[in-house]
Amino acid sequence: MISFENDYSEGAHPAILRRLTETNFEQVPGYGNDPYSAHAKELIRAACGTPEADVTFIGGGTQTNLIVIASLLKNYEGVIAPSTGHIGVHEAGAIECTGHKVLSLPGYCGKLDADDMKKYLAAFYGDESHTHMVFPGMVYLSFPTEYGTLYTKKELTEISAVCREYGMKLFVDGARLGYGLMSEANDVSLSELASFADVFYIGGTKVGALIGEAVVFPKGDQPVNFITTVKQHGGLLAKGRLTGIQFEALFTDGLYFEIAKNAMEKAKRLKSILAAKGWRFFLDSPTNQQFVVIDDETLKRVREKFVVSFWEKPDPTHTVVRFATSWATTDAMLDALEAFQ
């Protein structure tokens, strides 16, 4: 079976395993106070063009989302997200479990719209009983989105402006950030992203690491005692070296971007293979996640040879499925798909 199920089916980029092995018996302090973590943070600050940034490594995406959001929101605030945002759908209520509401706005192929935000905010503050409602304290969006789509620089500029006007923090979930940045369709650089966002994270788990996301507060205004909040939610690794060494490897000599680029090249070929099969695209995604509508009989045969992700049932006889490429996708895997009849 060849898997296009997701971008975390394999282990880690070999450079990471090599470095873990090379450094294995060095004794270093725990909880992220090791020299590898320190160096990785420096490399990330340099890559983002944000010398003042605070950088913290956390194990996974849901954990990162809940910790960042809980650390920034006041008790009476919630977080705006598109209806399809990961925090509102596939995190088992992690945000609510910290006491905060996810304020759902329409998602357009996974994306928030600045005009919707303005209307929502005008209605909220115009409502005479808004003190009985959850205050919008923050905006969450994913880059790329859960549907593989990308915000343009213009869209982020507008969204960011709305956030500033209304005193809301802008948080960018970058679980697949590398893939977004390396998409041919992308017009946003990492440093531009860092200038739009109040906080974002650079996804490792889905871009070649075993585990780990790098949370970046680009302006260096990480909440006081953020590490205590991380600990409180069980997100502080005793062996912080595990994330430090991985991000050091990923941000040495541009490895992160190089392996993300592989996923994009493979996605391009994947798209043409899927198109050649005559399968309808559910939406137009410029990144490593491709969604197609397949009739259920064909899908049954596909699933005898390939692993793909269920997405939704548009009607009783068809299914939307996701094919994902990653840093580890090979042409041999795509050859097999191409050969599939």
> Considering only residues 75-104, where is the footprint of a copy of itself by CB under 8 A?
75-76, 78, 89-94, 96-102, 104
Neighbours of 287 (CB within 10 A): 28
336 binds a copy of itself (CB under 8 A): no
Residues 46-65 that bind a copy of itself (CB under 8 A): 59-65
Stretch that binds a copy of itself, among 164-172, 226-234, 284-292, 295-303 (CB under 8 A): 226-234
- Based on the number of CB atoms within 10 Å of its own CB, is 182 exposed (0-12), middle (13-18) or buried (19 or more)? buried
Site map for a copy of itself, 257-296, x if CB under 8 A? ----------------------------------------
Stretch that binds a copy of itself, among 20-28, 268-276, 278-286, 290-298 (CB under 8 A): 20-28
214: tokens are 């790098």
Among 154, 164, 231, 300, binds a copy of itself (CB under 8 A): 231
24 binds a copy of itself (CB under 8 A): yes
3 binds a copy of itself (CB under 8 A): yes
Which residues, other chains included, contact 100 with Cβ-Cβ below 8 Å and sequence gap of 6+?
Answer: 69, 70, 73, 77, 78, 79, 134
Q: Least distance in Å: CB of 233 to a copy of itself?
A: 7
126 binds a copy of itself (CB under 8 A): yes
- Under DSSP, the state recorded for 131 is G
8 binds a copy of itself (CB under 8 A): yes
The Cα 230–Cα 27 span in angstroms is 23
Residue with the two structure tokens 């479990």: 97
Among candidate residues 63, 261, 107, the one with its CA nearest the CA of residue 179: 261
Pairing of strands 169-173, 213-217: unpaired
Among candidate residues 174, 224, 216, the one with its CA nearest the CA of residue 199: 216
Q: Least distance in Å: CB of 328 to a copy of itself?
A: 7
27 binds a copy of itself (CB under 8 A): yes
Residues 140-199 that bind a copy of itself (CB under 8 A): none
